[in-house]
């Protein structure tokens, strides 16, 4: 009988111990579950979410919590550093992941993207100079033959830039103006009289007033298109085409600031003629700007070549100094840019390519035209 009672006591004791162990395990699991929590989201900083190929991008974050971090930059590159610098070698949209942990059960995952879009202008120009037989085409005011003659697309419009991209050329030239409320827009003329169905000086009207007018095609017919802001124009071609910005006589500070804010300093050339002073005003705003000077003689090449950001120069292909300038520029790693416009440029439509032949024979590598398709087909023969 004593043995039976003892057995019952032992079994009861084991049962209590078993239940106690189960409770401890349950409590432990519950405690563990309670320890898992989400950390406050960090402030993520990407130096350029729209970089060019081979452009260095810096990734960093700030948080008040002591954490370890794991980066996944989307192209099989990973890092456990707090601040990471990385370059992408091809175009595409890359998924960026950042996982933080405080080692106590707290974690947070941040996801975003980086869109790598095209080459840097100076990288592309270096390749151009190193391949003397290669030529670039620049669409004057965004014009192309199809756009100007067939589609009735007005110059200096978003549609013109899109057509230039579609045509497959390398650069678009656009002129920058400022409205009375300090918005940057693109227009070759100071007034809207010729280009739109309105009248008045751009500098004396607000953007809202300017946007009430419609652009005309080259035959004077009113279209459905309006004068775009510079920001609209740049975004229409970002990563697809380079830009030559003719700043006319406006203050470069706002233009440079806008281009920088769009992460496009490596895709845009700033043109302000031949003056050292007016061109220096651009680089004084930001030394990363790519200046695009007009050159009249070989002596001035030494001055411009001191700026490593200058990789192309414009000159008159009919000038007696043209051969020396083109040769000298190439020796200094700069491509030469010629305007194939007005009467000589229009002659191409009637089959007269003599001016274009002169430009090619002089070894110019960038040709600005209103008729990209004609020039492109002739160069590719």
Cα–Cα dist 108/98, whole Å: 8
State whether residue 312 is helix, strand or coil.
Answer: strand
Q: What are the pLDDT digits (tens) for 58-69?
A: 999 999 999 999
Given a contact cutoff of 8 angstroms between Cβ atoms, the answer to whether 333 and 312 are in contact is no
Identify the pLDDT of residue 34: 55
Nearest to 299 by CA among 269, 270, 332, 277: 332
Identify the pLDDT of residue 311: 98
Q: What are the pLDDT digits (tens) for 153-200?
A: 999 999 999 999 999 999 999 999 999 999 999 999 999 999 999 999
Place of tokens 């005011």: 141
Residue 12 predicted with pLDDT over 90: no
Cα–Cα dist 67/107, whole Å: 9
Three-class SS of 362-381 = CCCCEEEECCHHHHHHHHCC
Contacts 24+ apart (CB under 8 A), 213-217: 215/154, 215/156, 215/157, 216/154, 217/148, 217/152, 217/153, 217/154
Q: What are the pLDDT digits (tens) for 71-130?
A: 999 999 999 999 999 999 999 999 999 999 999 999 999 999 999 999 999 999 999 999
Phi, psi of 326, rounded to the nearest 5 degrees? -60, -45
Cα–Cα dist 44/243, whole Å: 30
Q: How confident is residue 17, by pLDDT bands cut at 50, 70 and 90?
A: very low
Residue 41 predicted with pLDDT over 70: yes
DSSP 187-252: -SSSBSTTTBSS-SBGGGS-HHHHTTS-BB-TTS-B-S--PPBHHHHHHHHTTTSEEEEE-TTS-H
DSSP 67-122: -EEEEE-SSS-EE--SSEEEE-SS-EEEEEEEEEE-SSSEEEEEEEEEEE-SB-HH
Identify the pLDDT of residue 23: 46
Identify the pLDDT of residue 35: 82
Question: The pTM is what?
Answer: 0.89
The larger pLDDT score, comparing residue 214 to residue 24, is at 214
Q: Residue 316: left if φ>0, alpha if ψ -120 to 50, beta else—which one?
A: beta
Q: What are the pLDDT digits (tens) for 326-370?
A: 999 999 999 999 999 999 999 999 999 999 999 999 999 999 999
Q: What are the pLDDT digits (tens) for 200-246?
A: 999 999 999 999 999 999 999 999 999 999 999 999 999 999 999 99
Q: What are the pLDDT digits (tens) for 287-320?
A: 999 999 999 999 999 999 999 999 999 999 999 9
Identify the pLDDT of residue 7: 41
């Amino acid at each position: 009988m004593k043995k039976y009672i003892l057995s019952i006591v032992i079994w009861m004791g084991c049962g209590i111990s078993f239940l106690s162990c189960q409770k401890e395990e349950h409590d432990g699991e519950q405690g563990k579950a309670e320890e898992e929590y989400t950390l406050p989201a960090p402030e993520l900083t990407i130096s350029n979410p729209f970089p060019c190929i081979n452009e260095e991008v810096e990734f960093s974050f700030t948080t008040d919590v002591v954490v370890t971090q794991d980066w996944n930059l989307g192209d099989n590159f990973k890092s456990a550093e707090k601040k990471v610098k990385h370059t992408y070698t091809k175009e595409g949209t890359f998924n960026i992941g950042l996982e933080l942990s405080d080692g106590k059960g707290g974690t947070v995952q941040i996801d975003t993207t980086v869109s790598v879009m095209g080459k840097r202008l100076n990288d592309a120009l270096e390749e151009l100079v190193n391949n003397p037989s290669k030529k670039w085409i620049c669409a004057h005011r965004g014009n192309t033959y199809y756009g100007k003659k067939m589609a009735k697309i007005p110059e200096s419009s978003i549609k013109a830039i899109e057509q230039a991209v579609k045509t497959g050329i390398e650069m678009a030239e656009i002129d920058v103006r400022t409205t009375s409320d300090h918005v940057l827009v693109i227009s070759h003329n100071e007034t809207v009289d010729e280009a739109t169905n309105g009248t008045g000086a751009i500098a004396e009207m607000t953007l809202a007033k300017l946007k009430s007018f419609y652009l005309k095609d080259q035959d004077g017919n009113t279209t459905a298109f309006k004068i775009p802001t510079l920001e609209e124009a740049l975004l229409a071609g970002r990563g697809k085409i380079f830009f030559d910005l003719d700043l006319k006589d406006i203050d470069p500070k706002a233009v440079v600031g806008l281009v920088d804010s769009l992460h496009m300093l490596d895709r845009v050339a700033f043109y302000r003629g031949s003056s050292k002073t007016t061109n220096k005003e651009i680089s004084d705003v930001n030394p990363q700007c790519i200046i695009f000077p007009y050159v009249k003689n070989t002596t001035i090449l030494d001055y411009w070549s001191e700026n490593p950001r200058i990789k192309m120069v414009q000159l008159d292909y009919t000038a007696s100094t043209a051969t020396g300038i083109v040769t000298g520029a190439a020796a200094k790693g700069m491509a030469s840019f010629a305007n194939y416009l007005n009467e000589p440029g229009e002659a191409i439509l009637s089959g007269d390519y003599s001016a274009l032949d002169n430009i090619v024979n002089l070894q110019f590598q960038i040709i600005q035209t209103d008729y990209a398709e004609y020039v492109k087909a002739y160069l590719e023969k």
